[in-house]
Structure 1
Amino acid sequence: MPYSNTATLHWDYRDGRVAAVVAAVVYSMWTLEVVLPGGPGTATGALADPESTLGLVLDSAHRTAAILVVLAAGLGLTLGAKRPRSWLTVSWWSMAVFGAASLTASLLPGRCVVSTDAACTVESLVEGSQGATATQTVLAVVAALSALLASAALTRDRRRARERAWPALALITVAQAVAAVVVLVLAAMAYASSGDGSPGVALGLAERAHLVTVALWLLAVGVVPGQWKRSRGQRSTVRPAD
């Protein structure tokens, strides 16, 4: 009997690679603040006014990016490379947690249009902004730490597999670790000061730097092939029915 897949939705590991790359592009869309009206530049902590054109764009875009991250992680777990060691599995699951936490945070009310912006959520909380809750801060911290763990686990896996790209992954992981620590330290300082002073500029710059490292990590997830390719013995094929 001839085989036909016209009525079947077929997922391929390459869909996961594309999802990761598109998510990386979306997480870089904060750079539109340079050209769109309503962008705060680097003079404030928040990346954008939620009611501005840029704020509305980022709010929808980052929600979409979170969904793409979960999709990429799911395809990585089911259709990506399978190995006896566990580092790659840790990377995929951590990536899924990052996407899920980001998506959940993006659905909560508040003035922070970037769901992974721990600095903004803390500022909003200590300033008593309408809609700000401690849940958003917790989710933002979970997202930041999950992204870092995913990047570190992927780097470890690629190093053990002797992938040529592992030094680049290591640099991305180190940069992400530094940016995450700076964001969390500044956020803790803002919380300790109960909103006194004006740490907004430093928080804004740190969050932008962190978003750059997150985008680079997602780009590497999509571009580096080793975590997606299965060995010949593991490759599954769909055979026509007899």
Structure 2
Amino acid sequence: MSDSEHMHWDHRDGQVAAIAAAVVYCAWALEILFPEGGTASGALARPGSDFGHFLASAHRMASILVLVAVVLGFAMGRSRQSRRLVVSWCSAAVFGAASLVASLLPGRCVVAIDAACAAETLVEGVEGATAAQAVTAVVAILAGVVAAVFLAGDRRRAGDRAWPLVAAVAAFQAVTAAAVLALAAWNLWGPGAAEPGVALGLLERAHLVAVSLWLLIAGLLPRLWRRTDTGRRAELSR
């Protein structure tokens, strides 16, 4: 069988998967095209609406794309990876897996990684709401922050001129993640528990933008994916 008859994968497919995931995580921006968007109440979409189902499916696909990017980054990316980069890849894998699991659990939250919404549904006693969704959402949020922070550390250690931008994105993601987790704790234990509002929607959007920027910049960093060990590349091509 000729080489042309084989499906060929390389690091560029991982880059495309990461960039595609970044775009999908910003699918909420399409709410302006749908009357079923929830901008008036702050929610991304009304539960059970067509846009809500679309957004939930989109985020499920995004989590799969993250896992694809991680696998290809490990297998076909840089031949020599620092410990920081390995930790970043592993954390990104946890993020993708936890997001996927959360998206498959029952509940009204259209964003699988929205721990604040998951906590709110628990307090309200919404049918189908489970503590497992809140836990997996928290795991995904924390794993995403760890992945971004260690990516910034790896780029700084490697002398990449883009590392200040990576660090800024990591800081933005950490701040928005902390805000979402704080709101989740408030929903569970605060005196204003189970009172949804615009604040929740704004934090949802800000955190999703941060996640999208992390995935986008990871996909666009050439030195993160490109092999520099030409000898090993030649060996693998044989």
| TM-score, normalised with respect to structure 2 | 0.94
CA offsets 1:135-191 (integer angstroms, 9 cap, x no match): 000000000000100001111111111111111000000000100001101110110
| AA of the residue aligned to 1:223 | L
Whether 2:101 is the aligned partner of 1:77: answer no
What is the CA-CA distance between 1:33 and the residue it aligns to?
A: 1.3
What is the CA-CA distance between 1:195 and the residue it aligns to?
A: 6.1
Whether the 8 Å contact between 2:121 and 2:194 is mirrored in structure 1 is no
Whether 2:33 is the aligned partner of 1:35: answer yes
After superposition, residues 1-242 of structure 1 pair within 5 angstroms as 4-41=2-39, 43-44=41-42, 46-83=43-80, 85-193=82-190, 196=193, 198-231=195-228, 232-236=230-234, 237-239=236-238
CA distance in 2, matches of 1:234, 1:47: 47
What is the CA-CA distance between 1:64 and the residue it aligns to?
A: 0.6
| AA of the residue aligned to 1:188 | A
- Aligned to 2:6, the other structure's residue is in SS state coil
Whether the 8 Å contact between 2:41 and 2:198 is mirrored in structure 1 is yes
Q: 1:197 to 1:137 in 2, by over 3 A?
A: closer
What is the CA-CA distance between 1:59 and the residue it aligns to?
A: 1.1
What is the CA-CA distance between 1:89 and the residue it aligns to?
A: 0.6
Whether the 8 Å contact between 2:176 and 2:206 is mirrored in structure 1 is yes
Whether the 8 Å contact between 1:187 and 1:203 is mirrored in structure 2 is no
- Larger proportion of helix: 2
CA distance in 2, matches of 1:165, 1:84: 18
- Aligned to 2:63, the other structure's residue is in SS state helix
What is the CA-CA distance between 1:235 and the residue it aligns to?
A: 2.1
> What RMSD in Å do the two structures reach over aligned CA positions?
1.6
What is the CA-CA distance between 1:8 and the residue it aligns to?
A: 2.0
Task: Tell me whether 62-71 or 3-12 shows the greater mean CA deviation.
Answer: 3-12
Q: 1:202 to 1:83 in 2, by over 3 A?
A: same
What is the CA-CA distance between 1:85 and the residue it aligns to?
A: 2.7
Whether the 8 Å contact between 2:63 and 2:96 is mirrored in structure 1 is yes
CA distance in 2, matches of 1:131, 1:31: 27
CA distance in 2, matches of 1:129, 1:200: 17
| TM-score, normalised with respect to structure 1 | 0.93
Whether the 8 Å contact between 2:123 and 2:193 is mirrored in structure 1 is no
CA distance in 2, matches of 1:58, 1:220: 23
Number of paired residues? Answer: 236
| AA of the residue aligned to 2:237 | V
What is the CA-CA distance between 1:199 and the residue it aligns to?
A: 4.3
| Unaligned ranges ≥5, structure 1 | none
